[in-house]
Structure 1
Amino acid sequence: MAERSTPIGGHVFVAGGLAKGGLAYAAEIGAEVIQVFVSNPRGWALPAGDPAQDARLRESGMPVFVHASYLVNLGSPTPETLRNSVESLRHALRRGAEIGARGVVVHTGSAVTQSHEQALRQVREHLLPLLDEIPEDGPDLLLESMAGQGRMLCATVQDLEPYLAALDFHPRANVCLDTCHVFAAGHDLAAPGGVAETLDALDRVAPGRLKLIHANDSKDPCGSRRDRHENIGAGHIGAQAFAELMRHPVAAGVPLCIETPGKGEKHREDIELLKKLRDSA
């Protein structure tokens, strides 16, 4: 039997307050770990938190992660986007500390119109100071590679090595692995040995840095470079890959959060399937 130390949960809807709504939705879908937004994921507004809600979430004992705004791009050549990205990420890290989050997930970004090298220099200039600002008991920053569309800075797990090198392998810079993203980028998790090959490659470039897994099946085939999530077992990755993932030593004990289509009962079904795969492995 697989160890029950791998928490399984998902991104939660927080209508009614970050703690009140988030914990209620977590109970509805059977989540053992949750991911939340602390601002509009498609906007730049930086709302203050509710201290009472923050305290309730901290005291709940529920492991919590924050997902930064989708607009954040520290590789952007546009000064306004870069400035907003820095402030939005600083806000997410601060709010993450206030709610007791373990990590703040951020997309690794795109070079857009500049060179890859220029974009990485820019990431270094603006991200290293944010990493140094994180308090000892604050959340780690979790770098999430993308599906490979456009001029993304990280798609394959190997792409994380130069990104982390640009950050001097800062101890607070860690990794969130999205199964749909890496599958779309060309890591064939559905093939025999594909999960082990992917996680072994990650361990070579970022040993000990995997802190969260976004467990999402894929609507599109391997190498599609299309970021379209599917419910667990209903896509091209298939349920067996998730069982193999939870058995691999690199992923041992690393929380899994779904970001799959639908809500409510669909999310409960995905989480129940992942728990079954975990407990029968």
Structure 2
Amino acid sequence: MTSTNLIGGHVFVTGGLATGGLKYAAEIGAEMIQVFVTNPRGWALSVGNPAEDEKLAASGVQTFVHANYLINFGSPTPATLENSVAVTRHTLRRAAQVGARGVVVHTGSAVSQSREDALRQVREHLLPLLDEIDEDGPDLLLEPMAGQGQMLCATVQDLGPYLEALDHHPKVGVCLDTCHAFAAGHDLAAPDGVGATLDALNEIAPGRLRLIHANDSKDVCGSKKDRHENIGAGHIGAQAFADLMRHPVAAGISLCIETPGKGEKHREDIEVLKKLRSV
């Protein structure tokens, strides 16, 4: 059924992107996966292993790629901006090679410059990369952050100006991180918190939700702190994830955990979400 939410997680890879990644996915019961295709905390560009890329692409497992954490198209530092362009271009190409549906990228920060100047940089440097993506290639998924510092996107309303800067390009999607949204002030734990948030998202970015990072929060709503917790063990609570999977805006959208721990803890979180899906 196209309306069913696949549930999976970011996989820890040992022994090859496909070999290790798919093995870990099986161990935790993941129905879809998210992977890194290059160092997430460095600018070096990994060429990958063509055999592993081909194996992952042929596996039929729904795959997303998370881009480098350092990417920031709003940065006033020329070197950061130059590296952000190079790494994003490289990651989009690698994502196509592994058959990924999308590349998740953090929306960045203005740092020490104005929001307007930062968004002009986003337009100048990111929009051309979107035009390079083949029609059947992966979408670029904007992930709003928790709201700390001079972040360009935190609330779903912040996506409006960002999408405008990118001319509402057809290859732009959204990745909603539940912990980030909660930290930014969307009270997902409130009785209609999930509904209000997804309705607002669909009004600002209709039809653009492509992936949900399903993470509980160690901190309270509005804390602006990005600290993930295991499902049901944080301030968001399990009910919000059940509400999320029943909302029409999230129909058919995959949930990917990025929760603390490895192995057994990840398997437990995925099992909790699968039970909530069937409620």
- TM-score, scaled to structure 2: 0.99
Correspondences of 1:52-71 after superposition (within 5 Å): 52-71=51-70
The equivalent of 1:211 in structure 2 is 210
- TM-score, scaled to structure 1: 0.98
Paired amino acid for 1:94: R
Residue 33 in 1 paired to residue 32 in 2?
yes
Alignment partners' CA distance in 2, 1:180 and 1:244: 15
The equivalent of 2:124 in structure 1 is 125
By how many angstroms is 1:4 displaced? Answer: 6.9
The equivalent of 2:169 in structure 1 is 170
By how many angstroms is 1:29 displaced? Answer: 0.2
The equivalent of 1:182 in structure 2 is 181
The equivalent of 2:50 in structure 1 is 51
Paired amino acid for 2:72: N
The equivalent of 1:88 in structure 2 is 87
Asked if structure 2 preserves the Cα contact closer than 8 Å seen for 1:183 and 1:222, the reply is: yes
Asked if structure 2 preserves the Cα contact closer than 8 Å seen for 1:140 and 1:173, the reply is: yes
Alignment partners' CA distance in 2, 1:33 and 1:74: 29
The equivalent of 1:157 in structure 2 is 156
Paired amino acid for 1:130: L
The equivalent of 1:222 in structure 2 is 221
Residues 154-186 of structure 1, C-alpha deviations (whole Å, 9 max, x = no match)? 000000011001100000011000000000000
Paired amino acid for 1:191: A
Residues 88-126 of structure 1, C-alpha deviations (whole Å, 9 max, x = no match)? 111110000000000000000000000000000000000
Asked if structure 2 preserves the Cα contact closer than 8 Å seen for 1:145 and 1:155, the reply is: yes
SS in 2 for 1:212: strand
SS in 1 for 2:75: coil
Query: Quick check: 214-223 or 4-13, which moved more?
Result: 4-13
Alignment partners' CA distance in 2, 1:266 and 1:76: 36
Alignment partners' CA distance in 2, 1:47 and 1:39: 5
Unaligned 5+ segments in structure 1 are none
SS in 2 for 1:6: coil
Asked if structure 1 preserves the Cα contact closer than 8 Å seen for 2:107 and 2:145, the reply is: yes
SS in 2 for 1:24: helix
By how many angstroms is 1:5 displaced? Answer: 1.8
SS in 2 for 1:95: helix
Asked if structure 2 preserves the Cα contact closer than 8 Å seen for 1:4 and 1:279, the reply is: no
Asked if structure 1 preserves the Cα contact closer than 8 Å seen for 2:189 and 2:237, the reply is: yes
Alignment partners' CA distance in 2, 1:245 and 1:92: 29
Asked if structure 2 preserves the Cα contact closer than 8 Å seen for 1:109 and 1:153, the reply is: yes
The equivalent of 1:144 in structure 2 is 143
Correspondences of 1:251-270 after superposition (within 5 Å): 251-270=250-269
Asked if structure 2 preserves the Cα contact closer than 8 Å seen for 1:4 and 1:278, the reply is: no
Alignment partners' CA distance in 2, 1:164 and 1:138: 19
Alignment partners' CA distance in 1, 2:95 and 2:195: 32
Asked if structure 2 preserves the Cα contact closer than 8 Å seen for 1:180 and 1:227, the reply is: yes
SS in 2 for 1:55: helix
Tell me the number of residue pairs that the alignment of Structure 1 and Structure 2 aligns.
Answer: 279
Alignment partners' CA distance in 2, 1:207 and 1:162: 14
By how many angstroms is 1:3 displaced? Answer: 8.0
Asked if structure 1 preserves the Cα contact closer than 8 Å seen for 2:3 and 2:251, the reply is: no
The equivalent of 1:12 in structure 2 is 11
Asked if structure 1 preserves the Cα contact closer than 8 Å seen for 2:219 and 2:235, the reply is: yes
Query: Quick check: 95-104 or 48-57, which moved more?
Result: 48-57
By how many angstroms is 1:253 displaced? Answer: 0.5
Asked if structure 1 preserves the Cα contact closer than 8 Å seen for 2:157 and 2:204, the reply is: yes
Q: Kindly report the root-mean-square deviation, in angstroms, between the aligned alpha carbons of the 2 structures.
A: 1.0
